[in-house]
Amino acid sequence: MRNSQISSKCCVLVADGTRARFLTLEPAQSAKPKSGPPLVEKKNLINPNLDIPGRDLWSDPKTGRGRAGGGGPAHGYDDHRDEHKDEFERRFARQIAEETASFVHERRDEQLVVAAQKRMLGFLRPELKRCLKEQVRVRELAKDFSKLNPTELYKHLAELNLVPRHSPPQLGVRTVPAQD
């Protein structure tokens, strides 16, 4: 996709199973190339269910092993933790989508760039479709960029043509009338 099709009225959502970050594309502050990152983090969400260490989330931190009554041999079992984790992530994806819709519509953004770990993107896609208006164009990237700072994130997204390349503001050019 060419840069001319990339909207400058854009926000970026970066998510994994435990955290979602909302960033906006800001115009350059000055003509200097290093005048600050074009992406600015505005808010973030934490998944309260998966931000808890295993021993606090589950009564037994180890899964799949049990003892038979009376000290018999150990046996394997499935305690369905994966299904519980899936449900926690689905709920978090719903919360992210609702927050995203509010954020995007409040700012009147035309485009949303979603960079999420593959699994979370699978949960997010239907929720975003349900929550966002059709006027908002969604561009997806199945990559976990949740640990990157705004400058690193911007570099990666600009290289992939998901956000417009940073261009400093034009300096005012004064024309002086020619003297005869």
Structural tokens at position 106: 């409040």
Q: State both tokens at 115.
A: 């960079």
pTM as predicted: 0.71
Q: Superfamily for 3-61+81-159?
A: eRF1 domain 2 (3.30.420.60)
With a cut of 70, list the residues of the chain below it in pLDDT: 1-8, 28-37, 50-84, 166-180
Q: What are phi and psi of 155, to 5 degrees?
A: -55, -45
3-class DSSP assignment, residue 128: helix
The encoded tokens of residue 166 equal 């940073």
Backbone phi and psi for residue 62, each to the nearest 5 degrees, phi listed first: -100, 145
Return the residue matching tokens 């606090």: 56
Quick: pLDDT tens for 36-82. 568 999 999 998 875 555 445 545 555 555 555 666 666 565 555 66
